[in-house]
Amino acid sequence: MRFTIQRDQLMNSVQDVMKAISSRTTIPILTGMKVEATEYGVKLTGSDSDVTIESFIPVEEDGIVLVENIEPGSIVLQAKYFPDIVRKLPQQTVEIEVDDHFNVNIRSGSAEFHLNGQDAEEYPHLPQIQTNQSFEVPIDLLKDLIRQTVFAVSTSETRPILTGVNMKVENDDLYFIATDSHRLASRKIPMGDNVQPLSFENVVIPGKSLTELNKILDDSQETIEISVTENQILFRTKHLYFLSRLLDGNYPETSRLIPDEVKTTVFIDTKELLQSIDRASLLAKENRNSVVKLTTKENNRVEITSNSPEVGNVVEEVTAESLEGEDLKISFSAKYMMDALKVVDCEKVNIQFTGAMRPFLIRPNENDQILQLILPVRTY
């Protein structure tokens, strides 16, 4: 095998597939990266058997030649060394050559590396996904879906199903829902005619997989194809193939968490409230969640306070656009509230309270597709 390739293109692909390679795998060859050259281009593969990422570099794109002098073949390279070598090569082009004994030569300018490769035949074959449960969404919309939900997955392994994001189709809408049982983040997008053949509700994608996918995807208007089988999900773009296993188990029914009555509604500037809670949390670092208290006052004012007996206290008032309903005093985790406000992407938010000890909802003013729910904290 041999080929000459543009270093920057190679580096981008290497960085993408590295996100699936773990040094802690039980299958030794998976600590390596598979490199495959064909007449159409070069394909890199990384996998830890839970997540598999393939990145393809075509021979030519937009009239620019990316790969040339190809002699087809494949090899598995040590992922521990290969990325650093590529990153530090002196020239814009890299020549990679492999002999019959899996010895690899990497040349760029005056630098030449010799690496021991492994037989690509020993690399596990990736499952080919056969399913009619496929649909397409714009990449930037998928990135929004991930960003607005994945932060709320659980980090504790006591209930593994909550470490994932639930994807379901209901009434022509596609939902992403995440909860760690103290808060919930939900985002839906209308799918219209795209959802007719689709029927799934218990698809739970590991939060870690979505976080890595989000890092790899560039913001773009292009679409990404999503295919679902019983235990795996595939995200595919023109040059990327991202396969993740799904989590086993039944995702809890989250719709019953959402209160149907509202006793107090605060309509307020998102940024002002976020910055005020951020300041209040400065003195509440003692306890892990930085508890902050919100109290409604007359004349549409909201008081944000935090108190740590050993440190001191902070009091700040924010004027809301409007304040309706009963008076309220409620305490909550500053971190949870800030996480929620950061992703609503809207200048003003409606916060709907159902009393001091009941979950409350945060909805962006102009977008009914985003919903954040937070459970208050008991303070004595």
Judge if 2-122 and 136-166+184-250 fold alike in CATH terms: yes
Residue 110: is its pLDDT beyond 90? Answer: yes
Residue that the structure tokens 């103290």 belong to? 182
Residues found in the chain: 380
- Which CATH code for domain 2-122? 3.10.150.10
Mean pLDDT, to the nearest integer, of 285-314? 88
DSSP secondary-structure letter at 45? E
Determine the topology of domain 136-166+184-250 in CATH.
DNA Polymerase III; Chain A, domain 2 (3.10.150)
End-to-end C-alpha distance for the chain, whole angstroms: 70
Degrees to nearest 5, angle at CA 219 with 275 and 234: 115
Determine the topology of domain 258-374 in CATH.
Proliferating Cell Nuclear Antigen (3.70.10)
Does the predicted TM-score (pTM) go above 0.85? yes
Distances in whole angstroms, Cα of residue 111 to Cα of each of 11, 48, 115, 131, 360: 17, 31, 13, 47, 61
CA–CA distance, 260 with 29 (Å, rounded to integer): 53
Q: For a pLDDT cut of 90, what percent of the chain falls above it? A: 82
Closest CA to 192 of 168, 173, 167: 173
pLDDT tens by residue, 150-169: 999 999 989 999 999 999 98
Distances in whole angstroms, Cα of residue 158 to Cα of each of 177, 181, 205, 246, 250: 19, 12, 17, 17, 15
Q: Would you kindly state where each structural domain of the chain is located, as residue ranges?
A: 2-122, 136-166+184-250, 258-374
Average of per-residue pLDDT values in the chain: 93
DSSP secondary-structure letter at 196? T
Q: For a pLDDT cut of 70, what percent of the chain falls above it? A: 97
Whether residue 149 contacts residue 186, with contact meaning beta carbons closer than 8 Å, is answered with yes
DSSP secondary-structure letter at 172? T
What is the token pair recorded at 356? 């001091």
Whether residue 271 contacts residue 347, with contact meaning beta carbons closer than 8 Å, is answered with yes
CA–CA distance, 142 with 323 (Å, rounded to integer): 34
pLDDT tens by residue, 330-348: 999 999 999 999 999 899 9
pLDDT tens by residue, 184-213: 999 999 987 666 667 787 899 999 999 999
